[in-house]
C-alpha cells in the first residue's frame, strides 16, 4: 500500500454514514468509487454522546478489504483500548488531545506498534493544545463539527486552526497530514483544502451521494 504524503489529496469516506447492515459491501463500494482510505469513527458513548462500533468492526473491515484504515478514536481512554485496535488491523490511529490519557505516551505506543499516529482536537479546543505533540504525529485532525454524529454543518471558525497547523508544519520542517472531519462537502472541502488540509473525511456527502464515484472525484479535484 503506497504511503501518501501531506502533498497528496486523500479522500477518506466515513463508515459512520454507511449501511451498518452491509459493512463489507459498503466498504467495497467506497473503494471502487475511488476512496483512498476508509475512515472508521469509533465512539464510546462517553467521550461523545453516541456509540458506534469497536475493534471487532475494524477487524472485519480489515479482513474483508485491502484498504488503508484511518481509525478515529472518539473514546475517553484510548490508551486502555489501544492494543485491541492495533491488533484489529488499524493503519493509522487518531486519539483526541482532550481524552483522559498521557497523550505523548499514547502516540509513542501507536508508532512503536508500527501504526501511524494521529492527534485530533475538537472545534472548541485551542490549536495550542496540540503544539507540544507536533513532532510525534503523522496526522493532525482538526474536527470541523462537534464529534458524535454525521450529517452536521461545517464550522468555518475552525479554518484559522488549519492555517496555523499548516504554518507550523512549514516552519518546523514537519510532514504531518492535516485532516478535517465533519460537514465536508464539495464547497467546504475547497475551503478546508485552501486552508491547508489534505485529508478529507466525508460521510454523508460520499455514502449519501447518488453517484459516489463522481462525489469523490469532484472532492479530489476541487
Tell the smallest beta-carbon distance from residue 151 to ligand DX5 (Å): 5
Distance, CA of 169 to CA of 101 (rounded, Å): 25
Under rule CB under 6 A, how many of the chain's residues touch ligand DX5?
A: 21
Distance, CA of 201 to CA of 152 (rounded, Å): 13
Which range, of 80-88, 94-102, 116-124, 143-151, touches ligand DX5 by CB under 6 A? 143-151
Binding site for Zn ion (CB under 5 A): 41, 72, 181
152 binds, among Zn ion, ligand DX5, none (CB under 5 to 8 A by kind): ligand DX5
Of the candidates 99, 92, 103, the one whose C-alpha atom is nearest the C-alpha of residue 38 is 92
161 binds, among ligand DX5, Zn ion, none (CB under 5 to 8 A by kind): none
Q: Is 184 in the site for ligand DX5 (CB under 6 A)?
A: yes
Tell the smallest beta-carbon distance from residue 170 to Zn ion (Å): 25
Q: Give the residue, chosen from 10, 11, 17, 155, that forms a contact with ligand DX5 under the rule CB under 6 A.
A: 17
Would you say 135 or 156 has its CB closer to ligand DX5? 156
Q: Give the cell for residue 114.
A: 508500527
Find residue 73's DSSP bridge partners.
42, 95
- 181 labelled catalytic: yes
Of the candidates 117, 113, 120, the one whose C-alpha atom is nearest the C-alpha of residue 87 is 113
Q: Write b or e for each residue in 149-181: b if 16 or more Cβ atoms lie within 10 A of its Cβ, otherwise e.
A: bbeeebbeebbebbbbbbebbeeeeeebbbbbb
Would you say 138 or 181 has its CB closer to Zn ion? 181
Distance, CA of 171 to CA of 209 (rounded, Å): 38
- Which residues are designated catalytic? 41, 181
Binding site for ligand DX5 (CB under 6 A): 14, 16-17, 41, 74, 145, 147-152, 181-184, 201-205
Amino acid at each position: 500500500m503506497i504511503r501518501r504524503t501531506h502533498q497528496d489529496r486523500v479522500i477518506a469516506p466515513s463508515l459512520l454514514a454507511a449501511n451498518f447492515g452491509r459493512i463489507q459491501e459498503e466498504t467495497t463500494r467506497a473503494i471502487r468509487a475511488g476512496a483512498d482510505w476508509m475512515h472508521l469513527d469509533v465512539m464510546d458513548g462517553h467521550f461523545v454522546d453516541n456509540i458506534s462500533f469497536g475493534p471487532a468492526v475494524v477487524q472485519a473491515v480489515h479482513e474483508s478489504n485491502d484498504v488503508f484504515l484511518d481509525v478515529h478514536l472518539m473514546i475517553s481512554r484510548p490508551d486502555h483500548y489501544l492494543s485491541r485496535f492495533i491488533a484489529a488491523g488499524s493503519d493509522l490511529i487518531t486519539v483526541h488531545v482532550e481524552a483522559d490519557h498521557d497523550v505523548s505516551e499514547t502516540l509513542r505506543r501507536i508508532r512503536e506498534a508500527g501504526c501511524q499516529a494521529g492527534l485530533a482536537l475538537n472545534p472548541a479546543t485551542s490549536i495550542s493544545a496540540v503544539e507540544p505533540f507536533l513532532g510525534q504525529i503523522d496526522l493532525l485532525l482538526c474536527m470541523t463539527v462537534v464529534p458524535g454524529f454525521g450529517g452536521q454543518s461545517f464550522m468555518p471558525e475552525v479554518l484559522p486552526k488549519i492555517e496555523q497547523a499548516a504554518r507550523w508544519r512549514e516552519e518546523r520542517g514537519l510532514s504531518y497530514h492535516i485532516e478535517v472531519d465533519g460537514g465536508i462537502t464539495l464547497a467546504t472541502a475547497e475551503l478546508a483544502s485552501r486552508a491547508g488540509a489534505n485529508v478529507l473525511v466525508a460521510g454523508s456527502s460520499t455514502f449519501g451521494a447518488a453517484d459516489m464515484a463522481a462525489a469523490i472525484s469532484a472532492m479530489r479535484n476541487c
